[in-house]
Amino acid sequence: MSARQAMLDRIRAKLPKAPEAERRAAVDERLARHPRNLIPARGQGDEAHRIRLFTEMMVAVGGTVEVLDDINDVPQAVAEYLRNGNLPAHVRRGADPVLARLPWHRGGTIEVVEGRAHESDRAAMTRAFAGVAESGTIIQISGPENPTTLNFLPEAHIVMLEASQLFGSYEEVWTKLRGIMGESSMPRTVNMISGPSRTADIEQTIVRPAHGPKNMHVIIVTGC
């Protein structure tokens, strides 16, 4: 018997002994209803409240946040972030059409290239699928618009998040995803990112990075 089969047999042994058809029907019924779990009250409020809470939670885990009123100011903000972090004026992004339409000339000499992250990239920029205020989390889905490698490979991860896509809870994000993808489809990956990569495995001392970017900067754009 393979290790895989042994593991599956142990799982089956722990399942309720109801007929298989009844068990499957119960699972299908729950998936069709997708009931919401307990939702923390702290994420509920107006847009200003969600931005304040998201910022507080992101900063608490080592990320940084700035808020812009005009999406056209994003290139300049990216250029300033790179300059202040002593990073090259070079950033890689995916094929996201919103990022492509930004007036990148406002970023001065910044060089913007498209595609999946390369090992030599120091900074990447993505557009968030959504944000979750209750935990200060960015939600990213895979695809050519925002390749997953951009989330994890470069030293610095810059994320543009429209305030209209900043929700109070995770359940609202899943509702949005189902509305776009349908009830039975999912992207290849859904990444939930709460701040830069870090670990405290050794003597409970925080070390950055661990398995991803050392720095994470979120640009929240209102009025989008």
Mean predicted lDDT score pLDDT of the chain = 90
The token duo for 113 is: 């290239």
Please, which pLDDT band fits residue 207 given cuts at 50, 70 and 90? Answer: low
The token duo for 220 is: 């929240």
Say if CB 134 and CB 40 are below 8 A apart: yes
Say if CB 200 and CB 207 are below 8 A apart: yes
Mean pLDDT of 201-205: 62
Mean pLDDT of 122-151: 96
In three-state secondary structure terms, 30 is helix
In tens, the pLDDT along 32-86 reads 888 888 888 888 999 999 999 999 999 999 999 999 999 999 999 999 999 999 9
**pLDDT for the residue numbered 204:** 63
pLDDT(172) > 70 = yes
Domains contained in the chain, CATH given: 1-33 (no CATH), 42-221 (3.40.50.10420)
Q: Residue with structure tokens 């298989």?
A: 20
Higher pLDDT pick, 186 / 145: 145
CA 84 to the chain's CA centroid: 24
- What is the residue type of 189? T
pLDDT(202) > 80 = no
- Which residues are CB-neighbours of 117 under 8 A, at least 6 positions away? 92, 124, 147, 149, 150, 152, 153, 154
In 3D space, the residue among 103, 95, 61 whose CA is nearest the CA of residue 195 turns out to be: 61
The single-letter DSSP state of residue 199 is B
pLDDT(20) > 90 = no
Whole-number Å distance between alpha carbons of 89 and 123? 9
